[in-house]
Structure 1
């Protein structure tokens, strides 16, 4: 199990290896967390800033990086939560503007 910490809410969730971050909706039972829209990396609703554990969310592929850049989130610390799978402890925050 790996710990995902969501700031500024300071919520902690334990998820199994390779869990998609979309599991937060089920684990948090309606508590405010990351907004998910299309779940396919096309809408940008779930942009997160990774504060620690970037490598534990898998590879950020070129289509994701290009889309994030178009949205104004060019740094390596930004990800689309719907495209991430948990492989270690991570701390994230919903990106400004979400």
Structure 2
């Protein structure tokens, strides 16, 4: 960078500072839309999460997870029903 380029850049910065710029507030009212918190996590449900629930001995959540997966993947309904039954048998849940 040559000295003349540095002088030009310094002059631009000095001019900017002299003008004392300020960020002006938004003049119109802005409404922010906030989504309500939902406890619906069905879109996040995976077979891996269901299996983790089983491994963590969170059997009620695991059963709920497999029921959600049955709705998401009707072609695997029998497989998920078998897993639900296995959980119920191992925990004597009826």
Give TM-score, length-normalised by structure 1.
0.26
Greater helix share, structure number: 2
Larger RCO (CA within 8 A; separation ≥ 6) = 1
Greater strand share, structure number: 1
Give TM-score, length-normalised by structure 2.
0.27
